Amino acid sequence: MSVASTSSGPVRRVRLHPHGLDLGDEIVPLRAGAMHYWRHPPEEWGAGLDALRALGFRLVDTYVPWGEHEVAPGEFDFGERSPRLDVARFLRMAHERALKVVLRPGPHINAELTYFGLPERIVWDRACQARTPRDNPVMLPIVPVAFPVPSYASDAFHEETALWFERVGRVVRDLRHPEGPIVLVQIDNEGALYFRDGPYDQDYHPDAIALFRAFLKTKYRHVNELRDAWNDPSLLHATAVPPVRFDAKGAADLPRHMDWMEFHEHLLVHAMRRMVDATKGTGLDELPTMHNFPLGEAATPLNAGRMDDVIDLIGLDYYHRATPVEHNTIARRTTELAARCEGRVSAYGAEVGAGFPPFFAPIDEKDSLYTLLCALAYGLRGYNLYMAVERDRWVGAPIDPHGRLRPLAQKYERLNTALDATEFHSLRRRAPVRLVVPRALRRLARASHAFGPITPAFFNILGAGFRETCIEEELGLGEVATLVGETYLRAFERALQTRGVPFAYAGGDSFVESIEDAKWLVCATVGGVKPELMMRLREAARNGLRVTIGPRVPSRDGSMREMPAPHDTTGLEVEPLDDGARADELVARHIQELGLPAFPVDPEDVKMTVHEDATGAPRVVFVMNPTARDLTARVSVRGARSLVDVLNPDRSDARIVRGIAGFEVHVPSRTVRMFAAEPTQTSS
């Protein structure tokens, strides 16, 4: 395949597809297993790659660690000295086995490496270091060694990164698809400011301050606009200083804090764009790019809507436990991801944990399997098993460090076989209701975070919401906006779950992409809302969607500035929602009026999702029990005459025939059962 350049850039060797990767002659589902070549002797690479193939994986995922390959500034070892570092040989061995490769050259890779895979000289170079409000290095307290994290604004850091990318490109450019196995390239890793993502942790690096002032100049083109927004008659773009703590006393003080939160998002997108630009001419730019959001991404500055303009594929990391609270977290994260990806790219779990680092809290086999299956149930269409092949600083992978299959491996092999047999990557979970979270609400929650050095993302990972983490001050708004907004959405969530109506979360930052095929939108409008989001809600209503907003219409915009005129609510239902019973009434009414699908489950502790083919016939059903008790549930799946367990075909109840009251399904504790649905004649 020849690759020609165009005025807009090089022609891509691989294209992203809603069902996976379009390689020209086939669509390959995005299912990968992680193996780190430099952590194994080369004589064991073949066994590990063969084991990945045996589990049904078509792709292998591997990092390229800058800090391991660099032996001195500008001097690298790619196998010339240490055979373990011969990444080109590893890639050729993958190609010989018909394995495609997801290549992750950083610069940040984490991978449980000291300094997260960066050279020690980089992290200790003051020009590269992120800064605290007091101009100190931003330290990450991590084992085995705490270290100062790089600044995403630092020109010096970006110049060093460009040199690293150029060197990697020189080694791997002849191993890109179709001549070689590389089909996807990751840009950076878990870009939430190296987990120092508190609202006032960083970045006060001189290059970041300069970027912040440029950001303000773009947002407020005339200095008087900036002065009005910040309520400071002496302010200049050139002298604006970011806040160093949340010190707002009233609503008039909020815009500068909201601007700082928005700037963090801008900073990360700007940094990713610079890194993507650094791949130009290396050959890596001829492949699609990806980036993985870490746990708790909704409480970080990572803005998927903005990042989509720079990175081709945004995936999520999954390291959860099988509990009711974390089940809900998986559902919220995954439905938002799936809604954003619908019809464009495959919803991808860039890291789905199989095991855990030994210095973290244990995640057992049931946790890992539950997390993966639950994420698939709520719309994930591809995943990278991290780690598939065990190595140092990791416990619990299905393949041991020498490439031997452990008993756990059979469960992943069965899953991959089932996903292929059902063509799961081509199915869709229809979710006609979307719960819309405005970006302004998330920014306000970050700005008003109540726990100082413990970041909002930490609480989000634990399943805590705004009620548990935000300062409970009205700030002249007449209510604690974050608490009211979250309560509003959760009331609808509970009512929809009770009646079995499929729904998905949608971020206001990616609104247009996230409402594909929706029938009813519910948006929390409280505190402040961007006029652009209100305009899009009105457009959706004009296009026939039912749009409910509330509990009221705020008088402020998304930056918390007072609006010169009220928001236009033409065509929108403004619903105060006085109590949860009212949410249930609305859901019941909309089921009838809009013909919403409903898949009731009894008891409610058990959850279910249904996945359909292009004709609308049910093909795959997941039944999930996140509790510590074995349960028997009655579920209803319209259009299915029987359910067949595709993961445990030897069970006595592997095939369940529909009875008068639906299907009766026994679900052991902390378990997900995956069924192929045998359709009735009328839906065939």
What are the domain boundaries of the chain?
A: 5-200+268-425, 209-260, 433-594, 601-683
Share of the chain above pLDDT 70, in %: 98
The string of pLDDT tens digits covering residues 49-70 is: 999 999 999 999 999 999 999 9
Strand boundaries in 526-639, DSSP class E: 546-551, 573-574, 601-602, 607-612, 618-625, 631-635
Contact 465, 262 (CB under 8 A): no
* Model confidence at 467: pLDDT above 60: yes
Q: Judge whether 5-200+268-425 and 601-683 match in fold.
A: no
| Superfamily of segment(s) 601-683 | Golgi alpha-mannosidase II (2.60.40.1180)
For residue 223, the Cα-to-chain-centroid distance in whole angstroms is 37
Query: Where do runs of H (alpha helix) occur along 283-408?
Result: 304-307, 324-341, 365-377
Alpha-carbon distance of 619 to 637, in angstroms, equals 10
pLDDT band at 344 (very low <50, low <70, confident <90, very high): very high
* Model confidence at 486: pLDDT above 80: yes
Q: Is 529 helix (H, G, I), strand (E, B) or coil?
A: coil
Average per-residue pLDDT for the chain: 96
Helical axes 409-421 vs 45-54, angle rounded to 10°: 50
Alpha-carbon distance of 148 to 123, in angstroms, equals 6
Alpha-carbon torsion angle 87, 416, 336, 289, nearest 10: 20
Amino acid at 500: G
Contact 655, 643 (CB under 8 A): yes
Q: Is 20 helix (H, G, I), strand (E, B) or coil?
A: strand
* Model confidence at 5: pLDDT above 50: no
User: What's the confidence (pLDDT) of residue 8?
Assistant: 57
pLDDT band at 212 (very low <50, low <70, confident <90, very high): very high
Order of strands, sheet of 601-602, starting from the edge strand that comes earlier in the sequence: 601-602, 631-635, 663-667
Alpha-carbon distance of 17 to 117, in angstroms, equals 31
The string of pLDDT tens digits covering residues 267-311 is: 999 999 999 999 999 999 999 999 999 999 999 999 999 999 999
* Model confidence at 4: pLDDT above 50: no
Q: Which helix (H) or strand (E) holds 628?
A: none
Q: Closest Cα to residue 15, out of 2, 6, 24? A: 24
pLDDT band at 6 (very low <50, low <70, confident <90, very high): very low
Kindly report the pTM of this predicted structure.
Answer: 0.97
Strand boundaries in 496-555, DSSP class E: 503-507, 520-525, 546-551
| Residue 151 neighbours by CB distance under 10 Å | 28
Angstrom distances, CA of residue 397 to CA of 55, 282, 345, 560 = 13, 34, 28, 47
Residues 6+ away with beta carbon under 8 Å from 134: none
Angstrom distances, CA of residue 4 to CA of 8, 9, 681 = 11, 9, 50
Q: Closest Cα to residue 455, out of 294, 263, 243, 258? A: 294
Query: Rounded mean pLDDT of 251-257?
Result: 97
* Model confidence at 630: pLDDT above 60: yes
The string of pLDDT tens digits covering residues 380-400 is: 999 999 999 999 999 999 999
Alpha-carbon torsion angle 202, 205, 210, 214, nearest 10: -20
The string of pLDDT tens digits covering residues 567-624 is: 999 999 999 998 879 999 999 999 999 999 999 999 999 999 999 999 999 999 999 9
Q: Characterize the bridge pairing of strands 348-353 and 313-318.
A: parallel
Alpha-carbon distance of 155 to 208, in angstroms, equals 10
pLDDT band at 9 (very low <50, low <70, confident <90, very high): low
Q: What are the φ and ψ backbone dihedral angles of 10, each rounded to 5 degrees?
A: -70, 150
Contact 287, 252 (CB under 8 A): no
| Superfamily of segment(s) 5-200+268-425 | Glycosidases (3.20.20.80)
* Model confidence at 241: pLDDT above 90: yes
Angstrom distances, CA of residue 676 to CA of 417, 628, 636 = 12, 25, 14
Amino acid at 454: I
Q: What is the 3-state secondary structure (H, E, C) of 21-68?
A: EECCCCEECCEEEECCHHHCCHHHHHHHHHHHHHCCCCEEEEECCHHH
Q: What angle do CA 398, 400, 402 make, to 5 degrees?
A: 145
* Model confidence at 3: pLDDT above 60: no
Q: Closest Cα to residue 30, out of 572, 424, 353, 522? A: 424
User: What's the confidence (pLDDT) of residue 2?
Assistant: 32
Half-sphere exposure of 199 (CA within 13 A, CB side): 28
For residue 678, the Cα-to-chain-centroid distance in whole angstroms is 32
Q: Is 172 helix (H, G, I), strand (E, B) or coil?
A: helix
User: What's the confidence (pLDDT) of residue 683?
Assistant: 42
* Model confidence at 175: pLDDT above 60: yes
The string of pLDDT tens digits covering residues 91-145 is: 999 999 999 999 999 999 999 999 999 999 999 999 999 999 999 999 999 999 9
Q: What are the φ and ψ backbone dihedral angles of 43, each rounded to 5 degrees?
A: -70, -10
The string of pLDDT tens digits covering residues 646-662 is: 999 999 999 999 998 89
Q: Closest Cα to residue 153, out of 131, 168, 186? A: 131
38 CB-contact burial (10 Å; exposed 0-12 / middle 13-18 / buried 19+): buried
